[in-house]
Structures are given as C-alpha cells and as structure tokens.
Amino acid sequence: MMNKLSKQSEAWVKICKDRLKVKEGYRAKPYLDTKNNPTCFYGINLKTYRWTQAEALYLVNHRTKPREIAEFLLDNHVADCVNGLGEYFGDEYGRPLLSAESFEVLPDNAKIALVDMCYNMGFYDLMGFENMLSAIDRLDWYSASIECVDSIYGRDKDTASRAKENASLLLSCKEEI
C-alpha cells in the first residue's frame, strides 16, 4: 500500500514510522491500552481498526510471524493516514483551499505531526481539530501548535506529552518555510 507515496516522501515517512514504533511500542499479543481498548502490534486498536480483506488474508497467512504482521499493518495504516490527509488538503472534501494547497507541500514536520495524530486517534477524530487544521491551511504554525495542545488530546494525561511533541513539530515549521 505504501506505493501510493512518492519517492520524495520516503524520508519523512521513514522518520514518521520510526517515531510511531517508539511511541506506540510493539507487542505481539493483545493487551489493554490506557483506555482499556484491546490493542496489538504497534498500537492497533483491535476494537476499532477497519481490517481490509488484504490485511485479514495477510494476518491468516503470516499468523506465526507477528513482527511481519505488525510492520505490514504499520505500513498500511500510515499510508491510509497519508492518503486521507492528502485528500483533505487536496480539496476532496469540497472545502476552499487556502495556502496549503496539498498535503505533499506541507513541511515534513507538519506531515509527521499530522500522521502521528491520525494514527493515534484516527482520521475522523483528527478532523475535529478544525481550528488547528485551519491554522495549518493558513501556514500559521504558532496557532496550529497552540490548538494542538489546547484540546482534550493536549490535556489528557495519556496523550499530553505526545500532543506537546506534535505541537513542537508544528511550531518548528516556521523555520522550514
């Protein structure tokens, strides 16, 4: 599924995946996460994850190789996040485009923060960050970083430090432009 990403995007995607591996941690067997959700591999919520037919088939065919399954799901989930964000920033949602015409042209640190948030909370919950996304559309990195932490995500004891790290990534985009 990662073939949907251009070659130029491979460097930041690798950084993003490596970061997700550290943040989510790897577990071969299901466990209950901090919100009591059954979770496995690299933070895959087994209750809400939408398995594709290809993923289910891969799972069955590689059931004795949990690390390979984890890598496969990480690749697919990151690609889904990137593609969803690409559609959002690419006018697939019929919203007016502001200065960030597409996801691909955003600074790498913004893409890393957005994919991390999407992976962690899901695409639709991320879409609830309307003020942050609007600030990113305007390339207003200061406001985007404030909106990232001024939220339930930023105040929750389990995600506050991650929100601060993502806010720092967004704020650092001022230097990238």
Our measurement of the distance from residue 171's CA atom to the centroid of its chain's CA atoms, rounded to an integer in Å, reads 17
Six token digits for residue 159: 């995600």
DSSP 35-86: TS-EEEETTEETTT----HHHHHHHHHTTT-HHHHHHHHHHHHHHHHHHHHH
Is-contact 112 85, C-beta < 8 A?
A: no
What span, in angstroms and rounded, lies between the C-alpha atoms of 40 and 166? 23
Angle CA(33)–CA(35)–CA(37) in degrees, nearest 5? Answer: 60
- 8 or 89: which leads in pLDDT: 89
pLDDT digits (tens, 9 = 90+) for 57-111: 877 777 788 888 889 889 988 988 888 888 877 655 555 444 445 777 788 899 9
pLDDT digits (tens, 9 = 90+) for 119-134: 988 888 898 898 999 8
What the chain holds in terms of domains, given with CATH numbers, is 2-171 (1.10.530.40)
Longest alpha-carbon distance in the chain: 48
